[in-house]
Amino acid sequence: MNQPAIARSWVSHANGHSDFPLQNLPLGIFSRGSEAKRCGVAIGDAILDLEAVLAMGFFEGQAKAAVLATQGGTLNAFFALGRAARVALRERLLELLGEQSEHQAMLEGALYPASTCQLHVPAQIGDYTDFYVGIEHARNIGKLFRPDNPLLPNYKYVPIGYHGRASTIRPSGTDVRRPKGQTLPAGQSEPSFGPCARLDYELELGIWIGQGNDIGQAIPIGDAAEHIAGLCLLNDWSARDIQAWEYQPLGPFLSKSFVTTISPWVVTAEALAPLRCAQPPRPQGDPQPLSYLLDKRDQAAGAFDIELEVLLLTERMREEGGAPHRLALSNTRSMYWTVAQLVAHHSVNGCQLQPGDLFGSGTLSGATPGSYGSLLEITEGGKHPVELPNGEVRKFLEDGDEIILRARGVCDGEVSIGFGECRGRVIAAN
């Protein structure tokens, strides 16, 4: 694809759009009213209905096969087709939506205002794995519990992860019910049961798996990037007080499984190509990855340069008509491992990955205050509350608080693309 960076669309509001210009074309599953779920493409402030465009006869060959694979309201079969189908669909959409398209009059009938559509989780998620690849976050958390030894010995050798709960993954805009569970209050010897008092968010990247692998067959690191369909934003909501009591010896359980929020658009690997960059070199003295995790091409262009942002909108701000307050500005370059390394490591023991599986990157914090991706880090476990512009303070999230995650990639000579928002508002426990 040699689409110039300055390409424009006949969809005028897409030109210069902060998230969804012609260069992006992310895929998602949407519905209107009582109509069935189907695949759409975000373009500016609108959604193009791919099934309607298919019915008009505008797709052929691999592009047609790609759209047919989206029928049924999930992208799993489309993900399974791999890169060639994604490229064919993208190239055809660039032609249809480009400024010189001859089909504008007909296509306008398949274009709906995004505000009139409901967005859904884009695939049937069979499995969800949450990793821990943000090294600054790992250091910050480690310092709270092990000031003299924040990183455990395995961190720089193994992409750490745990198996999460796929059934409670929800799209942006879904309310977050405050969870209940066991906690061990300070100074007590026995746990109590009740609503979480230390509710937190985690700023993460979501990674959608495309083509999978057979059980027993590892995905080589040199091929792993071909198994990534695209990315989204992910908020790994965390009940810190429940987590502190339960996490030893097997790690997170109820503290993480109550809900995970994702942005509903899949920003494809092809749209992300201009945002690829070299993996930051490891500091002197750090071990090199073991051979099954090391590939020259992946090290040269397997990382992403994507700006990440966290905002907080409280109930009081909402009532007063105030703007959300930025809590953090970070970047995906803080990832110690590439997404290809996550795929290679996850499958190296023969574990079967399947189209539509989802990975979380782990919290992506920067190295300095103002770039921390969770309240646990920002407040140092609640010791130093955040002071908001309207006079409110927060140690952890209160009922009515809404967390908004945003992401944007900007490269010299390229049009910026975004991910759309990942929002969730906390509501009271049952």
Q: What is the DSSP string of 161-172?
A: EEE--GGGEEET
E runs forming strands in 227-306:
228-235, 238-239, 260-262, 267-268, 276-277, 303-304
Instruction: Indicate the length of the chain as a whole number.
Output: 430
DSSP helix/strand/coil, 87 = helix
pLDDT at residue number 6: 60
Residue 211 pLDDT exceeds 50: yes
pLDDT tier, 148 (very low <50, low <70, confident <90, very high otherwise): confident
Pick the CATH number of 128-427 from 3.90.1150.10, 3.40.50.720, 2.40.30.20, 3.90.850.10: 3.90.850.10
State the burial class of residue 383 (Cβ atoms within 10 Å of its Cβ: 0-12, 13-18, 19+): exposed
In whole angstroms, what is the distance from residue 145 CA to residue 168 CA?
Answer: 29
Mean pLDDT, to the nearest integer, of 222-240? 98
Dihedral of alpha carbons 329, 18, 228, 30, sign? positive
The answer to whether residue 163 is catalytic is: no
Taking the model in full, what pTM does it have?
0.96
Q: Over pLDDT 90: what percentage of the chain? A: 94
State the burial class of residue 3 (Cβ atoms within 10 Å of its Cβ: 0-12, 13-18, 19+): middle
Nearest in space to 243 (alpha carbons), one of 191, 176, 288: 191
Dihedral of alpha carbons 276, 277, 282, 287, sign? positive
In whole angstroms, what is the distance from residue 376 CA to residue 137 CA?
Answer: 10
Same fold, 12-120 and 128-427: no
For 64-118, the pLDDT digits (tens) are 999 999 999 999 999 999 999 999 999 999 999 999 999 999 999 999 999 999 9
| Phi, psi dihedrals of residue 429, rounded to the nearest 5° | -65, 150
Q: By the 8 A CB rule, do 294 and 288 touch?
A: yes
pLDDT tier, 2 (very low <50, low <70, confident <90, very high otherwise): very low
For 277-329, the pLDDT digits (tens) are 999 999 999 999 999 999 999 999 999 999 999 999 999 999 999 999 999 99
Give the relative orientation of helices 83-97 and 61-68 as an angle to the nearest 10 degrees. Answer: 100
Mean pLDDT, to the nearest integer, of 339-351? 98
In whole angstroms, what is the distance from residue 220 CA to residue 346 CA?
Answer: 11
Domain boundaries defined on the chain: 12-120, 128-427
For 135-147, the pLDDT digits (tens) are 999 999 999 888 8
In whole angstroms, what is the distance from residue 421 CA to residue 70 CA?
Answer: 23
Residue from 137, 325, 345, 346 carrying the catalytic annotation? 137
Residue 4 forms beta bridges with which residues? none
Q: By the 8 A CB rule, do 170 and 262 touch?
A: yes
pLDDT at residue number 3: 47
Average pLDDT for the chain: 96
| CATH class entry, domain 12-120 | mainly beta
DSSP 116-134: G-EEE-SS--S-EEEE--B
Name, in order, each residue with C-beta under 8 angstroms of 14's C-beta and a sequence gap of 6 or more. 20, 21, 22, 43, 44, 46, 97
For 355-409, the pLDDT digits (tens) are 999 999 999 999 999 999 999 999 999 999 999 999 999 999 999 999 999 999 9
| Phi, psi dihedrals of residue 115, rounded to the nearest 5° | -65, -15
